Amino acid sequence: KDFRNSVKPNWCPGCGDFSVQASIQRAAANVGLEPNDLAVISGIGCSGRISGYIKSYGFHGIHGRVLPIAQGVKMANRDLTVIASGGDGDGFAIGMGHTVHAIRRNIDVTYIVMDNQIYGLTKGQTSPRSAEGFKTKSTPEGSVESAIGVMELALTAGATFVAQSFSSDLKELTAIIQKGIEHKGFSLINVFSPCVTYNKVNTYDWFKEHLTSLDTIEGYDPSNRMMAMQTLMENDGLVKGIIYQNTVKPSYQDLAHGYSKDALSKADLKMDEEKFNGLLAEFM
């Protein structure tokens, strides 16, 4: 199974997004998907280009709207594996409302955020993930706002799969994406994906120095939500690994009344005239 296509990415050399692309391709192959089993839906930003670089169904959406599109695709064809992807600005600023509601809805979509703490495509402005004091063209004296703790927020919103990884760790990232795809429900995977061109603070070396792997925390239990929250708060959110997973809560598709158990895209939607007119009359 080969998820490579002939399109050459035009990310800057060294951009963290290359690893995310490779990890998605490897994870999809590892779980036994074929390119026509997968839909990659992306938002706007450098990371948004990813849907064009993977051999699968793809849709490059509009800014902040990756999740409404991805959820619509999953609703129409539950047989597809749906991966949504975008940047921290796309998902945690303009798209934050959708992110929170997709989390609590628990629809079976894997959302991968390429988090570089800056707006790269527009040449380097402060994002909702930039730390307090972060200097950019939009905040020359340093940002006075604090960064959103997205992992903590996901936990309080009722997330059933919350994970974090780092572009430099391809093996771990692939394994986490694989687990996210296999998870029956919404999975949020935040990937620290350095912008080598505009973010000179949060570099590969910076993350290597500051990230704590959950594997190194003795007795860490990803099914324990309280432990997950406490660990995030103690480490200022800078942990990597599967932070929390709830394998018991059913997904949206399994709960929603009237939701077809079969792919809507394959249902016979033909209707005779009498039935159609009857339906129409109900709305008149």
Q: Which residues bind ligand SF4 (CB under 6 A)?
A: 11-12, 15, 17, 46, 116, 120-121, 195-198
**Residues in Cβ contact with 48 at an 8 Å cutoff, skipping those fewer than 6 apart:** 42, 60, 61, 66, 85, 86, 87, 90, 121
Could you tell me the smallest distance in angstroms from the CB atom of residue 49 to ligand SF4? 8
Of 125 and 197, nearer to ligand SF4 (C-beta) is 197
* Alpha-carbon gap, residue 204 to 182, rounded angstroms: 29
Using alpha carbons, select from 146, 112, 147 the residue that is nearest to residue 129.
147
In whole angstroms, the minimum distance from the beta carbon of 122 to ligand SF4 comes to 9
Instruction: Compute the least distance from the CB of residue 271 to ligand SF4, in Å.
Output: 48
Q: Min. distance of Cβ 51 from ligand SF4 in angstroms?
A: 15
Residue closer to ligand SF4, measured from CB, 124 or 158: 124
What CA–CA distance (Å, rounded) separates 280 from 284?
Answer: 7
How many CA atoms lie less than 13 Å away from 212 in the CB half-sphere? Answer: 15
CB-wise, 85 or 116, nearer to ligand SF4? Answer: 116
Task: Give 103's strand partners.
Answer: none
| Residue 24 parent element (H or E) | helix 17-30
Give per-residue burial for 158-175: e unless 16+ CB within 10 Å, then b. Answer: ebbbbbbbbbbbbebbbb
Nearest residue (CB) to ligand SF4, 109 versus 114: 114
How far apart are CB 17 and ligand SF4 at their closest, in Å?
6
**CB of 57 or CB of 192, closer to ligand SF4:** 192
